[in-house]
Amino acid sequence: MKAESAARFKLTRLMHPKFRNFGVRYMNMEEYQQVLSSQKIGGKEAGFYRFAPDDSGKPPFEMFLEENAGRWLRTVDHDTDWGEHSGQAVALSESFMESLKLFHKKAQKEGKDLKDVRKRTLEYLQESLKTSWNLERFLWDLERGEEEVEEEVEEETEEVKVIKDFLENPNFFEDKENLRKLFRVIIKATDLASKRRDKLYSGMMAGSRQYQVALVLDPSLLSEDKSWGTDFWRYIKSGYLTGSEILGAVVLIPEKEFVETVENTSKHAGSLGHPVFDSQGNLRFPKQELKI
C-alpha cells in the first residue's frame, strides 16, 4: 500500500467519533525514524488514552489535539515518568514561542508599521535571550558535541557559529532566517545535553532523550502488562509491525524542519505511512482533499 493511501485510511479512523482508545509513545526523532526503518517497536512503554462516550459528536482524537495544541509540556510532564528531563526541549520551544508572541503584542502597542513592529519584536527577544536564557550554556553543549565529557570537539560547527554570532552581533536578526536558525540550534543543544547525560550514567538516563514526536498507536499494540503497576502505562507488544499499528504522529516541536522530517519519513514508509500533525494540531500529511 502506498504511504499516502495508508495515511488517508488511518486519518479516517483517527477522526471517527467512535474511535476512543489509542496509545501514545513520546519519543526522540531518532527513535521515531528507527521505528519506521526497522518496523519494530516492542518492549517499550506507551500511554493508554481512553475516552468515555459523550454527546458532543466530536472525535476524541480531535479533542486530544485541541486540548494539547501548543501546550504539550503539560502533557509530557503528567503522562510520562521522564517529563522533567525529556520535556526540556518542549518547554524551551513553548517558552520561546510564547515570548515571541508577548513581545509582538508589546511592539504593536508602540506602533502599527509592520517593519517597525517586527524590528522591535526581535529587539525585545534578543535582549531577553541574552539576559535570561544562558545561551553560553547552549554554546558549551554544542562545542562538546556528542563526545565524552572529557573530550573537546576541535572543529567549530555551524551551530556554534550561530550562537556566537547571536551573542556578538547586535544586528543578528536583520537576516530573517536567523530567527529560525537560532531556534533550531537551541533545540539541538538541549538534545545533545540529554545524550551526554545518557553517557554519564551509562544508559541509566536513557529516558532523558528529548521528546520531539508523539507516535499514535493502535490499542491492539498495547499489552496487558503495566509499567510500574500503573494501568495508564502499558508495554508495547514485541514483533514486526505490519503497518496498521502506527496510526499517526504529532510533532511536538513547532519548527519547520522537524515537521518536514516527520512528513518525509511518513511519505516513504509504505504501509506504515500515517497522518502527521504539527504541535498546534494542524494536519500536515496527507494534504486535505478539496470538496466541491
The 3-class secondary structure across 191-251, one letter per residue, is HHHHHHHHHHCCCCCHHHCCCCEEEEECHHHEEEEEECCEEEEEEECCCECCCCCEEEEEE
Q: Looking at residue 208, what is its pLDDT?
A: 52
Q: Looking at residue 149, what is its pLDDT?
A: 42
Q: Is 292 a member of any domain?
A: no
Q: Does 266 score more than 80 pLDDT?
A: yes
Q: In terms of domains, do 202 and 267 share one?
A: no
Across the range 43-56, mean pLDDT stands at: 90
Q: In terms of domains, do 197 and 263 share one?
A: no
262 and 32 Cβ atoms separated by less than 8 Å: yes
Q: In terms of domains, do 47 and 11 share one?
A: yes
Q: In terms of domains, do 64 and 103 share one?
A: no
How many domains in the chain? 2
Q: In terms of domains, do 144 and 157 share one?
A: yes
Grid coordinates standing for 82? Answer: 521522564
Q: Does 290 score more than 50 pLDDT?
A: no
Q: 156, 191, 206 — which closes off a domain?
A: 206
Strand partners for 222: 236
**In 10 A of CB 101, how many CB atoms?**
12
Across the range 77-106, mean pLDDT stands at: 90
Q: Looking at residue 150, what is its pLDDT?
A: 43
Q: 183, 206, 229 — which closes off a domain?
A: 206
Give percent of the chain above pLDDT 90: 69
Q: Is 161 a member of any domain?
A: yes
Q: Does 236 score more than 50 pLDDT?
A: yes
Average pLDDT, the chain: 89
pTM given for the model: 0.90
Q: Is 157 a member of any domain?
A: yes
What residues make up the domain containing 150?
Answer: 87-206
Interval 50-91: pLDDT, tens: 999 888 889 999 999 999 999 999 999 989 877 678 899 999
Q: In terms of domains, do 112 and 200 share one?
A: yes
Q: 206, 233, 267 — which closes off a domain?
A: 206
Q: Is 9 a member of any domain?
A: yes
How far is it, in rounded angstroms, from Cα 203 to Cα 198? 5
Q: In terms of domains, do 72 and 93 share one?
A: no
138 and 189 Cβ atoms separated by less than 8 Å: yes
Across the range 222-249, mean pLDDT stands at: 93
Interval 108-165: pLDDT, tens: 999 889 999 999 999 999 999 998 888 888 888 787 765 544 455 556 788 889 999 9
Q: In terms of domains, do 109 and 194 share one?
A: yes
Cell 513581545 identifies what position? 103
